């Protein structure tokens, strides 16, 4: 059956299937290697679909998002694309992609691909042409500027991955602009031919039948054409963990430039032809008022990630402040994609500690909107410890001291097999841990496991009207350190309590039945008067 036929069938969830969906993020290099080269691939994902959907013991997620698998010299592990409409041989080919898509759809699983519009690779033929001469027709596809009078870069902008945002090209005597690595030149989105070519790339994947696009680094699409210098930093306007030079500036001229919104509207125009296709924005802005503009009042992204969540300490007030104002800004009509971890961030069990991993998962699933699960969190995997001689992340290799490798270690399928069943060859990054039980095989049939816990959370979210559709209100006057959220749908109510404080506490006035608890022995418990919680306990209760 052609994938487009399957797609029609799988839209039974309605055009807004994503609103309350559980999206599972697959970092392709580290999911499953099917051809023994130590790197994950598309066929590997297909072979592991039973873990995700349509088999006994599956997590039963709604959708997967696969990180870039396009041709690329891999300077940023695929986020440096050299052909938007093909598959890197490392990951397979278009046939392998079509097989994967068809198998996903046959299971009722949606598939989202990564779209990287801000920049491509220095090896993309567009850039090769562009840099070949000043009068090449593709010169204006990138952002070229003359040197400053002293011969230095055109202005003071700093690249997120370190150093200046400008790279001098001796052959033509000009600088080109790059927000990330020098090998990731920014495309010039003011050029209509660039837009047309990139919209063609969107059509290419949507025509193949994908169910949506996760759009990379949207906040950096355009810049102030006047190239005004950035002033020194005052507040947290951008990713707090960026390199120090980058963090030393207020990025008012190179990030979140107003012209970005018009481009996002055009993304929407493209996806309008594909009912139900999700436009999911990676808009990395920590100020919510700025981020919500990318919903463009219903003509922009369907969902954006709430990245404040990945920057929060284990503190109830901090989390409330990271969620409530945004929720108020979005109102009833719009949803958010909730996220606690990714291939760019520390895994949950390391960032908060293993003793808090279940409570963190309850919070994640308790929030209104889409729930994103990063591969490995369902096992409680910690970050890996990567020896210096095996560092891979260009960000770390550039000397910033921060590495994203620890969260990118291979998925652990079966510790009884070489390389935990991820590959038959030495994987590109070492395993995170060989601790017994830190694998799918060890957890799948154990009702006390983290995997069973995630499976139950996903099942509960699927059937709970309050968790799916309910309004969301934070509860005041709770004991110190307790985060409480009331979810209401019609006459059904659920409450989520997460105890982030330091001593045992008692909560009065919320009678009901515990549906899911970090302490699984408490599930089914009826609460009539007082609910007591130990530090790091969390519960979801159906209220009487």
Residues that bind ligand NOJ (CB under 6 A): 76, 79, 116, 180, 216-217, 282, 343-344
Q: Which residues pair with 25 in a beta bridge?
A: 65, 374
Q: Which residues pair with 26 in a beta bridge?
A: 66
Least Cα distance to 405 among 486, 317, 345 occurs for 345
Q: How far is the CB of 119 from ligand NOJ (least distance, A)?
A: 7
Q: How far is the CB of 67 from ligand NOJ (least distance, A)?
A: 8
Q: How far is the CB of 220 from ligand NOJ (least distance, A)?
A: 9
Q: How far apart are CA 372 and CA 410, in angstroms?
A: 19
Tokens at 467, concatenated? 């968790």
- Which three-class secondary structure state does DSSP give residue 205? helix
Q: How far is the CB of 64 from ligand NOJ (least distance, A)?
A: 16
3-state helix, strand, coil in the chain (%, to 5): 35, 15, 50
Q: How far is the CB of 31 from ligand NOJ (least distance, A)?
A: 16
By beta-carbon proximity to ligand NOJ, the closer residue of 401 and 490 is: 401
Q: How far apart are CA 77 and CA 28, in angstroms?
A: 10
Name the helix (H) or strand (E) containing 473: strand 471-474
Alpha-helical runs (H) found in 292-389? 316-330, 348-351, 357-366
Q: Is 256 exposed, middle or buried (0-12, 13-18, 19+ CB in 10 A)?
A: buried
Given 114, 216, 377, 405, which residue is catalytic? 216
Q: How far is the CB of 341 from ligand NOJ (least distance, A)?
A: 12
By beta-carbon proximity to ligand NOJ, the closer residue of 92 and 281 is: 281
Q: How far is the CB of 144 from ligand NOJ (least distance, A)?
A: 21
Given 282, 302, 405, 439, which residue is catalytic? 282
Q: How far is the CB of 182 from ligand NOJ (least distance, A)?
A: 13
Q: How far is the CB of 135 from ligand NOJ (least distance, A)?
A: 30
Residue nearest to ligand NOJ (CB): 79
Tokens at 381, concatenated? 């995997």
Least Cα distance to 188 among 135, 246, 130 occurs for 130
Which residue shows structure tokens 């107003």? 258
Residue 408 phi, psi (nearest 5):
-110, 10
By beta-carbon proximity to ligand NOJ, the closer residue of 351 and 493 is: 351
Least Cα distance to 531 among 493, 501, 498 occurs for 498
Q: How far is the CB of 275 from ligand NOJ (least distance, A)?
A: 27
Residue 41 falls in the annotated catalytic set? no
**Is the separation of the CB atoms in 232 and 298 below 8 Å?**
no
Task: Give me the DSSP letters along 92-155.
Answer: --HHHHHHHHHHHHHTT-EEEEEE--SB--TTSHHHHHHTT-TT-TTGGGB-EEPPPTTSS-SS
By beta-carbon proximity to ligand NOJ, the closer residue of 256 and 344 is: 344
Sign of CA dihedral 38, 372, 536, 502: positive
By beta-carbon proximity to ligand NOJ, the closer residue of 344 and 537 is: 344
Q: How far is the CB of 267 from ligand NOJ (least distance, A)?
A: 16
Name the helix (H) or strand (E) containing 206: helix 192-208
Residue 506 falls in the annotated catalytic set? no
By beta-carbon proximity to ligand NOJ, the closer residue of 27 and 413 is: 27
By beta-carbon proximity to ligand NOJ, the closer residue of 284 and 453 is: 284
Give Cβ neighbours of residue 397 (< 8 Å, ≥ 6 apart): 391
Q: How far apart are CA 120 and CA 504, in angstroms?
A: 52
Alpha-helical runs (H) found in 249-315? 259-271, 288-291
- Which three-class secondary structure state does DSSP give residue 317? helix
Residue 102's Cα: distance from chain center in Å?
A: 23
By beta-carbon proximity to ligand NOJ, the closer residue of 83 and 324 is: 83
Q: What's the chain's Rg over C-alpha atoms?
A: 23
Q: How far apart are CA 402 and CA 407, in angstroms?
A: 12
Least Cα distance to 172 among 135, 124, 141 occurs for 135
By beta-carbon proximity to ligand NOJ, the closer residue of 301 and 497 is: 301
Give Cβ neighbours of residue 284 (< 8 Å, ≥ 6 apart): 217, 219, 238, 239, 307
By beta-carbon proximity to ligand NOJ, the closer residue of 76 and 167 is: 76
By beta-carbon proximity to ligand NOJ, the closer residue of 201 and 420 is: 201
Which residues are annotated as catalytic?
216, 282
């Amino acid at each position: 059956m052609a994938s487009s036929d399957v797609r029609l069938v799988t839209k039974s969830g309605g055009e807004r299937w994503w609103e309350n969906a559980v999206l599972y993020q697959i970092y392709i290099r580290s999911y499953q290697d099917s051809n023994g080269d130590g790197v994950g691939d598309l066929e590997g994902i297909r072979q592991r679909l039973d873990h995700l959907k349509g088999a006994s013991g599956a997590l039963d997620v709604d959708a997967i998002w696969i990180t870039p698998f396009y041709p690329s010299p891999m300077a940023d592990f695929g986020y440096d694309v050299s052909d938007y409409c093909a598959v890197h041989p490392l990951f397979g080919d278009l046939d392998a992609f079509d097989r994967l898509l068809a198998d996903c759809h046959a299971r009722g699983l949606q598939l989202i691909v990564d779209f990287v519009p801000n920049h491509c690779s220095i090896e993309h033929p567009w850039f090769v042409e562009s840099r070949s001469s000043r009068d090449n027709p593709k010169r204006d596809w990138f952002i070229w500027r003359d040197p400053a009078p002293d011969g230095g870069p055109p202005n003071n902008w700093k690249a997120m991955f370190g150093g200046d945002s400008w790279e001098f090209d001796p052959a033509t005597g000009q600088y080109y602009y790059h927000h990330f690595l020098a090998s990731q030149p920014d495309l010039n989105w003011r050029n209509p031919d660039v837009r047309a070519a990139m919209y063609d790339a969107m059509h290419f994947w949507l025509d193949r039948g994908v169910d949506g696009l996760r759009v990379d680094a949207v906040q950096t699409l355009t810049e102030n054409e006047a190239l005004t210098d950035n002033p020194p930093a005052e507040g947290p306007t951008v990713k707090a963990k960026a390199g120090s030079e980058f963090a030393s500036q207020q990025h008012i001229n190179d990030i979140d430039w107003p012209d970005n919104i018009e481009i996002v509207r055009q993304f929407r125009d493209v996806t309008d032809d594909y009912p139900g296709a999700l436009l999911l924005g990676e808009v990395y802005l920590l100020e919510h008022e700025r981020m919500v503009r990318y919903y463009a009042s219903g003509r922009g992204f369907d969902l954006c990630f709430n990245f404040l969540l990945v920057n929060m300490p284990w503190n109830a007030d901090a989390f409330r402040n990271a969620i409530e104002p945004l929720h108020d800004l979005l109102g009833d009509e719009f949803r958010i994609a909730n996220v606690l971890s990714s291939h760019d961030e520390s895994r949950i069990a390391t960032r908060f500690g293993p003793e808090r991993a279940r409570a963190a998962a309850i919070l994640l699933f308790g929030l209104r909107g889409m729930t994103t699960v990063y591969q490995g969190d369902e096992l409680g995997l910690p970050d890996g410890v990567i020896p210096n001689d095996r560092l891979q992340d260009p960000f770390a290799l550039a000397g910033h001291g921060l590495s994203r490798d620890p969260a990118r270690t291979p998925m652990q399928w079966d510790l009884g097999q070489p390389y935990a069943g991820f590959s038959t060859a030495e994987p590109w990054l070492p395993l995170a841990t060989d601790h017994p039980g830190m694998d799918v095989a060890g957890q799948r049939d154990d009702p006390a496991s983290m995997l069973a816990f995630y499976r139950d959370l996903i099942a509960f979210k699927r059937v709970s009207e309050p968790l799916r559709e309910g309004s969301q209100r934070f509860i005041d006057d709770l004991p110190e350190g307790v985060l409480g959220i009331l979810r209401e749908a019609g006459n059904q109510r659920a409450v989520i309590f997460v105890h982030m404080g330091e001593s045992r506490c008692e909560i009065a006035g919320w009678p009901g039945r515990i549906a899911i608890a970090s302490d699984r022995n408490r599930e089914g418990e009826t609460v009539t008067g007082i609910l007591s919680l130990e530090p790091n306990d969390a519960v979801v209760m159906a209220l009487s």
